[in-house]
Amino acid sequence: MVRILPISDPGTLDAAIEVLRRGEPVAIPTETVYGLAADATDPAAITSIYEAKGRPRFNPLIAHVANIEMARAHVTFSPLAERLAEAFWPGPLTLVLPLKETGKIHPLATAGLGTAAVRMPEGFARELIAEFGRPLAAPSANRSGRISPTTAQHVADDLGDRISLVLDGGNCRIGVESTILALNDGRLRLLRPGGVPVEAIEEAVGMAIERPGKQSGGGPVIAPGMLASHYAPDAQLRLNATEARPGEAIIRFGGTPLAGEDQAKSVMDLSPSCDLREAAANLFDLLKRADATGATGIAVAPVPGHGLGEAINDRLNRAAAPRN
């Protein structure tokens, strides 16, 4: 039986540390989504993450750190990387940086690449890592290819028979995964849009961010693990819907009804007030709720592409992609 412990309970931090020290994974709340965390320096612990998720081993994990010193022990920061960390950490920005020879992040967590993806989360997750004293590898706490969890109950529903401990920190504040940036030769490339809008990063560093997928003609992003089909509900997703079809579950944006909604199985709204932050925070929960109606199709209204809308549309496109 999976234990669910509120992070506000006094014994929760110690209970989590005990499980992590045994080399087992613990599901933890972060500001983005719930993560399945384990010691990023321990190959057996990392293996237990891949096994619980059923995740392909060529898809590397993000190493979460408590402070910049912990990150510096494992990867090399260029002056630009320092500025980005200064501006956005703790927070939903992941930097892909060269591994140090003396670093201890295990190659299983980096899929044997010469780089590691690192991020400093906010709040309880950060406290836990500080107490543990080593980076935690933590992909989203869901079965591989499924919708990411934004509540402890989502995690328990998806992984409850495969892990022993879920820490409950309530709803995730941001609700989509981190923005991932690769830094090479003073250039910035977007590997995944996420919780920090690209515009905010460009403004902070006064540089344009390259989008490799778009520049090479709109094809899929060529980075390990950037799998096209992801976040997949059971129902087929129909994007940019302007009218409802009978029996569909409808996910609106901005409070605007779709034509024919009265024939729909259910109607929900990502953000009646057109707030992209609210929409991001609701996205995965509403996809799960729409799926749970048993509707054969989910129709999603258009969502603007600026700010957090880029991450929202990225997740929707992958949720709608053909399955392998």
Distance CA 313, CA 211 (A): 15
Distance CA 288, CA 102 (A): 43
Q: Which two tokens stand for residue 240?
A: 């940019």
Calculate helix-pair angle for 276-292, 152-159, nearest 10 degrees. 40
Q: How far is the CB of 183 from ligand AMP (least distance, A)?
A: 11
Distance CA 141, CA 125 (A): 14
Binding mask 129-168 for ligand AMP (x = CB under 6 A): ----------xx----------------------------
Distance CA 291, CA 233 (A): 6
Asked if 121 touches ligand AMP (CB under 6 A), the answer is no
Candidates 16, 19, 52, 61: give the one binding ligand AMP (CB under 6 A): 61
**Of 161-169, 197-205, 217-225, 232-240, which part binds ligand AMP (CB under 6 A)?**
217-225
Nearer to ligand AMP, 228 or 259 (CB): 228
Asked if 113 touches ligand AMP (CB under 6 A), the answer is yes
Going by C-beta distance under 8 Å and a sequence separation of 6 or more, which residues neighbour residue 194?
Answer: 32, 92, 93, 94, 176, 177, 178, 179, 180, 311
Q: What three-state secondary structure class fits 299?
A: strand
**Of 64-72, 134-142, 246-254, 268-276, which part binds Mg ion (CB under 5 A)?**
134-142
Q: Residue 191 binds which one of Mg ion, ligand AMP, none, with CB within 5 to 8 A depending on kind?
A: ligand AMP
Candidates 41, 110, 150, 179: give the one binding ligand AMP (CB under 6 A): 110
Q: What three-state secondary structure class fits 75?
A: strand
Asked if 140 touches Mg ion (CB under 5 A), the answer is yes
Residues 189-208 contacting ligand AMP, CB under 6 A: 191
Residues that bind Mg ion (CB under 5 A): 140
